Chains A and B, each alone.
Chain A
Amino acid sequence: MIRFQDVAKTFRRTAVLERVSLDILKGDRIALVGSNGAGKTTLIRCLLGEYVHEGRVWVDGLEPRRARREVLARVGFVPQIPPPLKMPVGELVGFAASVCGSDPARMVAVMAELGLDYDRIRRLPFVKLSGGMKQKTLIGVALGRPSDILIMDEPAANLDPEARHIFFRLLAARKDDGIMLITSHRLDEVAALVNRVVEMDMGRVVLDDRVADTVDMASRMACRVTLVRPDEAFARTIADWGFEGGGTHWRGPVNGPDRLRFFAMLSRYTGLIAGLEMAEGKREGNPCATEKV
């Protein structure tokens, strides 16, 4: 469906992409990982037809650079750094919906699902929103339009735990429909969302592997953490995850796809942890699912 063939890109004699070849098929959910300067964003911009490059890129036989409209009409894109648009949110949604041939109400509905009060922010300049609000707006625009290719650059970085859960659920709902390409510096951020990992380094693909596709993206774990003693730094961190409690006992939900991130966070406080209990909770849309401990 998407083919990169010997794609190379150079900026002022510095090679950023070196003959990258990659085939992406329908149903692929790819984590595009790598450190800063690995070439992830450049590869995405080549796919979006924004860069002139060597080699070829095809989306179902069409080149994004030549058939911009046809290709981009199928692409929902969430950039890592939200653009500093001075236009009001309502204008951005109106413009995006108009050129995408979409219903703005669908975009607004996705934003509402993510917990964004559109009526309150529609007249505000997009650039004045908080990082999370910007991210939710852009996700709303990307998911609220008809697209079978989702390209997301660190999409959940600024989202609160509740919004992350909803975001994962929205992705889960469309995971078999097309292609997802999610970039991240860290695999643990996106591991549970994907079924394929492509790692880039110095402009080359250094790893292209399938991963087990067993995590339910819409699942949520009920979790209890017991500490050996109260700790202020831990309390702040765990509160950010939406946990409640205090002192040595904390409880709260962890999104299924966030498990790895959660464990990574806990690993920083290994010496404090006296007990950890995690159980798969009720799945969205499947209230009869049994809990297991």
Chain B
Amino acid sequence: MIAFLRAARLDVQESLRARWFLFYALVFGGIVVGLFVFGLTESRILGFTGLSRLLVTYIQLCVAILPIFVLITTVRSVAGDREAGVFEYMLSLPVPLSAWYWGRMTGRFTVVFLPVFAAMAAAAAYAEFRQIGVAWDLFAVYTLLLVSLAWAFLGFGMLISVLARSSDVAQTGAFLLWLVLLLFLDLVLLGVLVREQMPLELVVGLALLNPLQSFRTAAILLFDPQMVVLGPAAYVILDSLGAKGYLAFALAWPVLLGTGAAALGYRLFRRGDLP
């Protein structure tokens, strides 16, 4: 347990020293500040009446930015250390591989999630300060959704990081995965499936296997319980799972995916050459 905590701490401290973290924190902090500035400017007539719209916009921006940030910074973790020759020395110390791997992942999760959460929490705190009601239940679900999304891509990142023998290859792999999940599963694959007149349930089911899509859909559900913007897909989702059922799925599925990917990465890491 000590080795696990030390490995996690090591990763946290390393990340806090890195420039990417500063940039990363600034991006998410900047988004919230930007949303406040524009939100307040554009609501002069009605005034700033609540946090819901800001949170929804923030979440939608997160879905575009968070995964690629998490992937790019995580894939450098194992592949970068291996490439730089850090493993030869650090893994000659009596650290169990499990403690090293999962400790690093936990540390990385802490640093990738905290700025995202802190920005959102700062927005909520501001709303409280202005005595504008904060829907804390909504805030909690958004937080859990972000945890779930960050964990999924962290797991993918760890897996790619173990598979790639250099950080260049790892970064390319990470970018391709993000592109595939962002574009292909949403647009290309679904377009093909619809044109081939596949059952709607299959099309929607496949789409929701994509953690980006399941997250995005859950975010829409929280803002628009009927999910009108999704059209017929909304019926399939709500008829099959119901609103609460779908939310549970959207929270659990990415966590399962991320854990599975990370576990596979660990298995490969343990079985292969370390340096």
Contact = CB atoms under 8 A, between A and B. Distances in A.
Interface of A: 45, 48, 50-52, 68-73, 75, 77, 79, 81-87, 91, 95-96, 98-100, 138, 151
Interface of B: 2-3, 6, 10, 13-14, 17-18, 84-97, 271-275
Given A51-B274, A72-B93, A84-B86, 5 more contacts: A68-B96, A72-B94, A82-B89, A84-B85, A98-B2
Given A50-B91, A69-B94, A77-B89, A87 B274 contact: no
B273 A91 contact: no
Contacts of A75: 92, 94
A99 B6 contact: yes
Given A68-B97, A79-B89, A87-B10, A99 B84 contact: no
Contacts of A77: 89, 92
Contact of A95 (B10, B18, B96, B275): B10
A81 B86 CA distance: 10
Contacts of B86: 83-85
Nearest to A153: B88
A52 B13 contact: no
Given A50-B275, A91-B10, A99 B88 contact: no
Contacts of B95: 69, 72, 99
A95 B93 CA distance: 10
A83 B88 contact: yes
Given A45-B275, A98-B6, A99-B6, A73 B94 contact: yes
Nearest to A83: B89
A75 B84 CA distance: 22
A75 B92 CA distance: 8
A128 B273 CA distance: 28
Contacts of B13: 87, 91
Nearest to B271: A52
B228 to A, nearest CB: 50
10 contacts: A50-B88, A50-B273, A71-B94, A79-B92, A84-B85, A85-B89, A86-B14, A98-B6, A138-B89, A151-B92
Contact of B94 (A79, A83, A91, A100): A100
A86 B13 CA distance: 10
| For the complex of A and B, 3 pairs with smallest distance between CB atoms | A72-B94, A83-B89, A77-B92
- Looking at B6, B93, B273, B274, the one whose CB has the most chain A CB atoms below 10 A away is B93
A99 B2 contact: yes
Given A83-B88, A85-B86, A52 B272 contact: yes
Nearest to B2: A98
Contact of B92 (A48, A82, A85): A48
Given A87-B10, A99-B93, A52 B273 contact: yes
Nearest to A41: B88
Contact of B6 (A85, A86, A95, A138): A95
B112 to A, nearest CB: 18
B88 A79 contact: yes
A81 B85 contact: yes
Nearest to A73: B94
Contacts of B93: 72, 95-96, 99-100
A95 B85 CA distance: 18
A83 B84 contact: yes
Contacts of B90: 83, 85
A72 B97 CA distance: 12
B240 to A, nearest CB: 46
Nearest to A70: B94
B92 A51 contact: no
A17 to B, nearest CB: 13
Contacts of A99: 2-3, 6, 93-95
A12 to B, nearest CB: 11
Contacts of A95: 6, 10, 93
A51 B17 CA distance: 31
A138 B271 CA distance: 28
Contacts of A72: 92-95
Contacts of A68: 94, 96-97
Contacts of B275: 45, 50-51
A45 B14 CA distance: 26
A71 B84 CA distance: 25
B275 to A, nearest CB: 5
Contacts of B17: 86-87
A154 B47 CA distance: 71
Among B3, B6, B96, B272, which residue has the most Cβ atoms of chain A within 10 A? Answer: B6
A52 B270 CA distance: 10
Which residue, B13, B14, B86, B92, has most C-beta atoms of chain A within 10 A? Answer: B92
Contact of A50 (B6, B10, B92, B94): B92
A126 B167 CA distance: 22
A86 B92 CA distance: 18
A84 B84 contact: yes
Nearest to A96: B93
Contacts of A96: 93
A68 B92 CA distance: 9
Contacts of B94: 68-73, 75, 99-100
Nearest to A76: B92
